[in-house]
Amino acid sequence: MKKLFMVIIFVFLTAAFLLLAQEDKKIMDLQKAYVFLEEEMLVNESDLNCSYFIRPDMPQDILIVSKHVSNPERNDFSDFDELVINAGSKAGLKEGDLLLILTKGKAISHPRSHDRLGRFFLKKSLAEITCIYDDNAIIRLRQGCHPVQVGDFAIPFKPEQTVFDKKIDYKYCRIPANAVTGMVVFSELTLGLPSELASSTQYISSDLGEGVVGKGSFLLFYRYLAADLPPLIIGSGVVIHSEKTNSTVKILDCSTDIRVKDRVLVLPRTVAGASASQPGKESIPVVETLPGTGVQPPVAGGEPIVSEGGTLNFAILFPFDGKLPLEDHAADYAAIRDFIAGRSEFLVTLRGYACSIGGDEYNLRLSSQRVEAIKAILVSQYGIDAAHIESYFYGEKDPQFDNSSEAERRKNRLVRIEVNGK
């Protein structure tokens, strides 16, 4: 009996030891996985709720109209302070609703073109409605980052997704070819004060907006020290908010202060790291030249060109993200019809292109739609036999121009037309 009791105790202790060992192993595995995660919080709640944006204008129906504190001399308010707004239950508000407090600043213009980008709006604090009336309510400030004053306004708070991602560590000495580029048009220091300089964890605005960048897009900052010198790469950032004319960018790292008029480019993930086949080597993508397209393109939108060999060449421009031509090209289509009239054999070749903004698949489809639009016009309106029309589409491959600026990208949104006949 005594031996049986000892055996039971031994088995129990052994099982307990094994369970503890497995539990320790699980804990250690979790800690190891957490420590070695490559991702990090690049855009946090503070970035989303305490930064700024530039927009033409926005509704300011909910205004802070009065203090709700015992000290009448106070003008700046922060967490746990109470204020009164001019909207209540009749405006659809209720107790417990969260508001975002903002202030309107000055109009911001592009530093070079002087085009108006919009007005500066600074996010100051969150606020909870604690007491509701018909036409006003009491709010209590929380999670503030800038002092709030009477006269500021509020909008309903809508939580945004943070960005938890691997930060791009750009270690190369040159900038990627054919990148989408822009400029730093505004920067700010703490308390929303405009400045000519900004550094890590602070915010700047670029003139790259919606359709080009969105939250989580990576940008590279660089500047030219002289016209005959290579560009100096000075840092990187991540977009936290985008509008039509601009985007707000958090500086992730920089070797020197970022200045207004510094250059920015959209950093594709394909050029951010080393090639898998050649560790440590730069993996800048190579755009292959497509067969049969080595001829220098005619000027888009210019007059049709007739070569010595009896070939009619011209190009038609399209708007950004557009599937129909920018202008009426009835005269050009009529020129094609007249050119092939009386010829026993002819071939109309259409080649569609897109600029580098957007994904590869999207741009390929867009260039196909542009070609099909021209083909439909030639067949339905000018009586050209579809059997004598061949079409090709390349998206952003084999760019006709270098995509280095908006002026060059505009030229790449085209369909080239070549007509051969005898």
Residue 198: which pLDDT band, with cuts at 50, 70 and 90? low
Predicted pLDDT of residue 350: 92
Mean pLDDT of the chain: 80
Domain CATH code at residue 417: 3.30.1330.60
Residue 126 clears pLDDT 60, i.e. is over it: yes
| Range ranked top by mean pLDDT from 64-73, 131-140, 155-164 | 131-140
- 329 and 242 share a domain? no
Residue the block writes with tokens 């700046």:
76
Task: Please write the tens of the pLDDT for every residue from 101-123.
Answer: 999 999 999 998 888 999 999 99
For the chain, give the percent of residues with pLDDT over 90: 39
- 151 and 170 share a domain? no
The residue among 106, 121, 156 that closes a domain is 156
The residue among 250, 271, 292 that closes a domain is 271
Q: Could you give phi then psi for residue 369, rounded to 5 degrees?
A: -65, -35
Task: Please write the tens of the pLDDT for every residue from 175-188.
Answer: 877 678 899 999 87
Predicted pLDDT of residue 277: 35
Residue 279: which pLDDT band, with cuts at 50, 70 and 90? very low
Query: How far is the C-alpha of 296 from the C-alpha of 313, rounded, in Å?
Result: 11
Residue 296: which pLDDT band, with cuts at 50, 70 and 90? very low
Full domain range(s) for residue 96: 47-156
Predicted TM-score (pTM) above 0.75 = no
Which of 241, 138, 258 is closest to 201 using CA atoms? 258
Average pLDDT (200-217) is 87
Domain CATH code at residue 126: 2.40.10.410
Residue 154 clears pLDDT 90, i.e. is over it: yes
Predicted pLDDT of residue 320: 84
Residue 388 clears pLDDT 80, i.e. is over it: yes
Average pLDDT (264-282) is 54
Number of domains composing the chain: 3
Predicted pLDDT of residue 70: 81
- 204 and 260 share a domain? yes
Predicted pLDDT of residue 21: 54
Structure tokens at 74: 């106070």
Sequence-ordered list of residues with C-beta below 8 angstroms from that of 103, at least 6 positions apart, any chain: 121, 122, 124, 146, 149, 151, 152, 153, 192
